[in-house]
Each structure stands twice: as C-alpha cells, then as structure tokens.
C-alpha cells in the first residue's frame, strides 16, 4: 500500500542543495532596513544641522562687539584728556553686511606715555544722547539732562545724576601702534552695563 506525503509543500532547497533559511533571511532583511533607515536619517540630519547653524550664525554674532581700528596711539596725547574719535565699520544686521560707515564714536585717553589707552562710549547711559568732553570743565557733559562725568568716566554726584551709571567702558587692544576698540552699545536707563 502506498504512503501519503504528510507535508504537501516540502522545504525548498537552494542551488547548493542546502535548505533555504526563511527565518534568517527575514531577520537579515529587517536589519538591512533598520541600517538603511539610520543611514538615511544621518544623511538628512547632517546637511539640515549645517544649514540651521549657518542660518542662525548671524543671530549668535549679534551679541558680540565689533573690533574696530579707531586711531593710532600717536593720535592720543598722554595728558589724560579724552579725545573723541569716530567709529567707522562695516555694519552688519542679522543677514547683511553693509559698506563702511560711521556707527558711533568713542573717547580715548592716555594718562601717561606708558599707560595703555582707555576707551569709553560717547553714548549717554541715561537716554542715549551724545556726550561731550568740555575742556573748560575738565568733565564730560551730556547736554540733554546735564549728567556729568570725570575724565575717567565716573559719574559726578552719582546720587543726583540723571545717568544711572558711569560711562560705558570699552575694551581696547593695541596692535602695531594702532588702537582697536571692541565697540558695542548698551541698554539705556539701567544701572548695569548690558549689551543690546
Ligand atoms: S540723556 Fe544724557 S543725561 Fe539724559
């Protein structure tokens, strides 16, 4: 009597004669898909990250000052009297760079031949008027509400001065006889020196 085959679809054999491993093949396919997905995400994330960093780089720069050459050391007599110098620079907003133009002014002074230059902003910390140094008074004067400062930028009579703080000091670098100022503006009307 002839016996029936209990399994109508016996396992397939590959050309080498080995049985085909369906479970292993499916696992390899799954891992391949995961690997391809990760590679795809990385390939997408890299240009996206670079693009975002480039796009927002100008916003990060806004918090920094602008290093500008404003004079040579020889332009500042070592007599302790502040002199006014324009600040000319390439103004930059978030995404544009403009031709050189005046963006403000600073006062520079040297108290002796060997002393490094000191710089203060010409902007009044009260409401932003331009201050002037009056040789006859030996003081800075703001014409808007008569705040006064000594030659080193300290307020005269701070308790009654309209200005909430001393004149804003600016960092100075001297390179090969040239005076560079880290020019920036600060918020008006407050006692702290906070960049805008
Ligand atoms: S703006 Fe200078 S004292 Fe008011």
pLDDT above 60 (res 38): yes
- Is the minimum distance from the CB of 127 to ligand 1 under 6 angstroms? yes
Does residue 112 form part of some domain?
Answer: yes
Does residue 4 form part of some domain?
Answer: no
Does residue 196 form part of some domain?
Answer: no
Does residue 135 form part of some domain?
Answer: yes
Mean pLDDT over the full length of the chain? 84
Q: In this structure, are 53 and 146 located in the same domain?
A: no
pLDDT above 60 (res 24): yes
Using 50, 70 and 90 to split pLDDT, how confident is the model at 124? very high
Q: Which domain range does residue 19 map to?
A: 15-61
Q: In this structure, are 44 and 72 located in the same domain?
A: no
pLDDT at 96: 80
pLDDT above 90 (res 94): no
* Domains held by the chain: number: 2
Q: Looking at ligand 1, which residue's alpha carbon is closest to its atom 1?
A: 127
- Is the minimum distance from the CB of 163 to ligand 1 under 6 angstroms? yes
| Alpha-carbon distances of 174 from 56, 66, 71, 120, 159, rounded to whole Å | 32, 15, 10, 15, 35
The pTM of the full predicted model, rounded to 2 decimals, is 0.68
Q: In this structure, are 78 and 170 located in the same domain?
A: yes
Q: In this structure, are 36 and 130 located in the same domain?
A: no
Q: Of 31, 46, 61, at which residue does a domain stop?
A: 61
Q: In this structure, are 40 and 76 located in the same domain?
A: no
Q: How far apart are CA 45 and CA 106, in angstroms?
A: 45
Classified as helix, coil or strand, 113 is: coil
**Mean pLDDT score, 61-80:** 84
Does residue 7 form part of some domain?
Answer: no
């Amino acid at each position: 009597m002839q016996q029936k085959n209990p399994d109508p679809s016996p396992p397939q054999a590959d050309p080498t004669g080995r049985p085909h491993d369906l479970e292993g093949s499916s696992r390899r396919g799954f891992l391949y898909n995961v690997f391809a997905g990760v590679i795809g995400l990385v390939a997408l994330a890299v240009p996206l990250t670079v693009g975002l960093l480039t796009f927002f780089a100008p916003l990060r720069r806004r918090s920094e000052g602008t290093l500008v050459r404003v004079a040579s050391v020889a332009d500042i007599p070592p007599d302790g009297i502040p002199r006014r110098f324009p600040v000319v620079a390439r103004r930059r907003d978030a995404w544009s760079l403009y031709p050189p133009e005046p963006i403000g002014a600073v006062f520079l002074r040297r108290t002796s031949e060997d002393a490094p230059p000191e710089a203060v902003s010409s902007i009044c910390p009260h409401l932003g008027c331009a201050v002037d140094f009056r040789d006859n008074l030996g003081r800075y004067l703001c014409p808007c509400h008569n705040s006064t400062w000594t030659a080193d930028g300290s307020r005269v009579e701070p308790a009654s001065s309209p200005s909430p703080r001393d004149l804003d000091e600016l960092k100075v670098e001297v390179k090969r006889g040239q005076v560079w100022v880290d020019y920036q503006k600060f918020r008006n009307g407050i006692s702290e020196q906070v960049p805008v």
